[in-house]
C-alpha cells in the first residue's frame, strides 16, 4: 500500500540531532515553510515509490532499500535465460558507521556469503570462481551498524565593544552525514518537492540506529586496468532496535533481490505484504567452472 501525506514542518521540540537532520533536508530540497497546495499535489505524485506496509502480523522487519545503477541500462544488468550474468564474489568486510553498540551481534562471514550467493542465484545470477568462466561483474559486500554521529560544543559569546558576556551558543555538526544520508537515500530526494510525511520517513531512518548490508557490483574490466568502476549498488537496512543482523539478513537480502541492478527513484520500504506479493524465493547457488 502506498501512502503519502502532507503536513507542516515544525522544528519546535526537536533534539539537536533531529534539528541538524532537518536542516540538511531543508538545504537539500529547498523546502519552504509555506508550501502551496499545488506543490503538495506534485509531492504526492513524486513520492509514489515510497512504500509503507501495515500488516496485522509482523513476520519480519520493514526493509529500507536504496538502489543505484549509475546511469547504466537496468535491463542489461539483469540476467535472462538468453543472457546469463556470471559473477565473482570477491569478499567484503564489516564497517560500522558511527559509534557501535556493545554486544551487537554480527553474522559469521561464511553464513553471510552463503546467503549472498543464494540471493543472487534467486535472481538468475550465476557464480563463477577464479580459473572459471570470466565474470561479467565482481560482487563485493559491506555490513554492520549505522548510527548518526553528531558532535556538539558550546561557545561563549561576548559583546565586541564592551566585552560583556552575552551567553553561550551550542553548535552541532554531523560527522558521518555522507554515509548515513546515503544509506537512507537522502540523495534520492535532491531537487524534489516532497510532503513532510516522506521527509519524516527518511529522517527517522537517519536519526535512529540501523543495521545494514550493501551489495555492490564492480566492472571487472576496470579492475584489470587497476581502476574502480561501480555498475550497481543496493543498500539494504533495517532498524537496529529489536533486530539482529544474523536473524534478519535473509529477509533483508530477499526483499532487496528484485532491485539488484535497478535504480530506485526514491527510497523503498518493503514489508511483509510486499514480500508476499513478490514471492521472492531464495534459490541454491551454482558455481560454473571452466569446461
Q: How far apart are CA 205 and CA 209, in angstroms?
A: 8
Q: Which pLDDT score, from 0 to 100, does residue 18 have?
A: 56
pLDDT of residue 38: 33
pLDDT for position 31:
32
9 located within any domain: no
**Which has the closest alpha carbon to 205: 268, 254, 142?**
268
pLDDT for res 279: 53
Domain membership of residue 5 (yes or no) is no
Would you say how long the chain is, in residues? 291
Question: How does DSSP assign 41-66, residue by residue?
Answer: HHHHHHTTT-B----SS--S--EEEE
Residue 16's pLDDT is what? 55
CA atoms within 13 A on the CB side of 164: 3
Give a yes or no: residue 42 inside a domain: yes
Residues 223 and 135: their CA atoms lie apart, in Å, by 12
Does the pLDDT at position 220 exceed 90?
yes
**Cell reading at 184:** 537512507
| pLDDT given at position 171 | 75
SS3 178: helix
- Identify whether 3 is part of a domain: no
pLDDT band at 117 (very low <50, low <70, confident <90, very high): very high
Q: Count up the domains in the chain and report the number.
A: 1
Residue range of the domain that includes 171? 16-152+165-288
Please check whether residue 21 lies inside any domain of the structure: yes
Does residue 157 lie within any of the structural domains? no
Q: Residue 4 domain-assigned?
A: no
Chain segment 1-46, per-residue pLDDT in tens: 333 333 333 333 445 555 555 555 555 444 333 333 333 333 333 3
pTM, entire model: 0.72
**pLDDT by residue (tens digit) across 88-106?**
999 999 999 987 776 789 9
Q: What is the dihedral of CA 5, 14, 269, 206, to 10 degrees?
A: 150
Whether residue 227 is contained in a domain is answered as yes
The pLDDT tens digits of the residues spanning 151-205 come to 776 777 878 888 888 887 777 677 778 899 999 999 898 888 877 877 887 888 9
Predicted confidence (pLDDT) at residue 240 exceeds the cutoff of 90 = yes
- Distance CA(234)–CA(213), nearest Å, equals 8
Amino acid at each position: 500500500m502506498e501512502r503519502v501525506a502532507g503536513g507542516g514542518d515544525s522544528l519546535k521540540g526537536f533534539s539537536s540531532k533531529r534539528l541538524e537532520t532537518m536542516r540538511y533536508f531543508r538545504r537539500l530540497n529547498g523546502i519552504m515553510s509555506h508550501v502551496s497546495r499545488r506543490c503538495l499535489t506534485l509531492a504526492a505524485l513524486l513520492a509514489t515509490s515510497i512504500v509503507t506496509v501495515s500488516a496485522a502480523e509482523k513476520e519480519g522487519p520493514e526493509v529500507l532499500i536504496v538502489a543505484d545503477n549509475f546511469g547504466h541500462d537496468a535491463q542489461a544488468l539483469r540476467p535472462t535465460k538468453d543472457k546469463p550474468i556470471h559473477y565473482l564474489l570477491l569478499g567484503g568486510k564489516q564497517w560500522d558507521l558511527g559509534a557501535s553498540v556493545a554486544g551487537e551481534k554480527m553474522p559469521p562471514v561464511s553464513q553471510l556469503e552463503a546467503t549472498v550467493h543464494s540471493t543472487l542465484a534467486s535472481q538468475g545470477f550465476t557464480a563463477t570462481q577464479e580459473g572459471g568462466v570470466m565474470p561479467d561483474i565482481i560482487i563485493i559486500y559491506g555490513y554492520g551498524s549505522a548510527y548518526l554521529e553528531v558532535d556538539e560544543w558550546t561557545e561563549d559569546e561576548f559583546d565586541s565593544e564592551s566585552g560583556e558576556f552575552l551567553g553561550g551558543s551550542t553548535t552541532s555538526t554531523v560527522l558521518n552525514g555522507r554515509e548515513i544520508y546515503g544509506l537512507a537515500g537522502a540523495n534520492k530526494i535532491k531537487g524534489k518537492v516532497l510532503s513532510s510525511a516522506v521527509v519524516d520517513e527518511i529522517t527517522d531512518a537517519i536519526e535512529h540506529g540501523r543495521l545494514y548490508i550493501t551489495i555492490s557490483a564492480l566492472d571487472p574490466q576496470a579492475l584489470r586496468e587497476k581502476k574502480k568502476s561501480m555498475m550497481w549498488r543496493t543498500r539494504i537496512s533495517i532498524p537496529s532496535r529489536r533486530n539482529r543482523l544474523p536473524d534478519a539478513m535473509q529477509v533483508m537480502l530477499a526483499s532487496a533481490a528484485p532491485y539488484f541492478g535497478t535504480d530506485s527513484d526514491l527510497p523503498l520500504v518493503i514489508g511483509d505484504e510486499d514480500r508476499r506479493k513478490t514471492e521472492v524465493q531464495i534459490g541454491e547457488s551454482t558455481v560454473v567452472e571452466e569446461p
